[in-house]
Amino acid sequence: MYRLEIIKKAENIAISVYEDDIFVEYYEEKFDEPRLEGNIYLGVVKDIVPGMQSAFLDIGEKKTALIHINDLIPKISDVTGNLNLDISKYDIKDYVKKKDKLVVQVKKDYSTEKGSRVTTDLKLVGQYVILLPNSKFVTISQKIAKEKKDELVNMVKKYIPENMGAIIRTIAQDASEEAISQDVSGLVSLFDDINEVAKANSNTNHGIKLLDDRGILGKLIIDLAPYGLNIVTDNKQVAKFVENISSGIEVKIEELKENVKPNRKVSLKSGGFITIDPTEALVTIDVNSGRYIGKERFEQTALEVNLEATEEIARQIRLRDLGGIIIIDYIDMVEEKNKQAVMKHMEECMKKDRSKVQVVEISKLCLLEMTRKPIFGRKI
């Protein structure tokens, strides 16, 4: 069971997510100007930059959006997409020209320096399935039990059009076939509606919004509703917004206590602490023993602090929705069994995370490398 607590403060809303009454995620965004990520537009090509293998599109927002050739051509793999694509074999001018109209989806929001990144690889998110209108493969969440995978893939293939694909979400393993078929049917109808609006505006000279994903709040409601969701807010305007997204969810209005926004430094019960520094390229997390000196030799002290820090780091990664490459600098340990114990503990702690996580390895220098896909992409 999940609970959202939404506090309106000035132009922003602060969203706290509780899982079984435990505070697990925290987000902030402008209430009247939510993130564009997930929105779908009919974009108009304004300029082509061959040297960047990219084009700029007017999507009707404050800034023009950028599309790279990787996000224009069909995916070559259902596992890695176009990650390993040799773009030297392709020419952006063979795919688009000025004034072309493209139906695109925002994959990375704009920032003060850059416009949004968009793609033609559309994803329509439902409760149990993510419909891929421009792909032909059906893939499945890695968190779903092996014995259910073939059954679910065959089930979804029965209901999606032959020229479309899908990603089956983790929650689908507990859903009925009827619920999954209704979910797929609704998404296919939504895509048909999007196409109809795009065709009706084929002569436009300006970008047009075709689908509003309703920012962080809209995505949270879609993601969490199947698990059971209660929503509480301190603002009538927010309550009305939520009810417009999902009329089936009751919203309570009451006074709420605001959670403190996470700080760079986080203390541990033992007296140690961690520091968290997100950068453009990666996230670095440093573990320090602080006041904790332990009762035995240093190796044991280091292991104890590192294990405690691992639990807090896993919580903080989820709380802050950290993503991309994450490097954790643990207190140095000599014994390999202790390093492996820390890595395995991290793998266990990250199982509760709703996002895709890969714990890669821990080095001789006690640097643990892992990756995580943020639930809401960071501003670029």
Tens digits of pLDDT across the chain (380 residues): 999 999 998 889 999 999 999 999 999 999 888 889 999 999 999 999 999 999 999 999 989 999 999 899 877 666 555 566 677 788 999 999 999 999 999 998 887 778 899 999 999 999 999 999 998 889 998 888 888 999 999 999 999 998 899 999 999 999 999 999 999 999 999 999 999 999 999 999 999 999 999 999 999 998 998 888 999 999 999 999 898 887 678 899 999 988 877 889 999 998 999 999 998 889 999 999 887 665 568 899 899 999 999 999 999 999 999 999 999 999 999 999 999 999 999 999 999 899 999 999 999 999 999 999 998 865 43
End-to-end CA distance of the chain: 33
At 272, give phi and psi (nearest 5°). -80, 180
**Six-digit token string for 78:** 């259902």
Confidence at residue 44, expressed as pLDDT on a 0 to 100 scale? 97
Return residue ranges of the chain for CATH 2.40.50.140. Answer: 41-209
CA distances from 254 to 83, 168, 251, 257 (A): 47, 36, 10, 10
Count helices and strands (H / E) in the chain.
6, 21
d(CA 130, CA 146): 19
Cβ proximity of 222 and 127 under 8 Å: yes
In 225-297, which residue ranges form alpha helices assigned H by DSSP? 236-245
d(CA 108, CA 102): 17
**Matching CATH number, 41-209, of 3.40.50.40, 3.30.70.1060, 2.40.50.140, 3.40.50.960:** 2.40.50.140
Instruction: Give the alpha-carbon dihedral of 37, 39, 45, 49, to 10 degrees.
Output: 10
**Six-digit token string for 160:** 């999606």
Helix (H, G, I), strand (E, B) or coil at 14: strand
Cβ proximity of 45 and 81 under 8 Å: no
Return residue ranges of the chain for CATH 3.30.420.40. Answer: 2-34+216-253
Q: Which residues lie below 8 Å from residue 92, measured CB to CB, with a gap of 6+?
A: 48, 49, 50, 53, 54, 55, 69, 72
**Six-digit token string for 210:** 């075709």
Q: 2-34+216-253, which class in CATH?
A: alpha beta
Q: Which residues lie below 8 Å from residue 336, measured CB to CB, with a gap of 6+?
A: none
Give the pairing type, strands 138-140 and 165-168: parallel
At 54, give phi and psi (nearest 5°). -140, 165
Q: How large is the C-alpha radius of gyration of the chain? A: 23
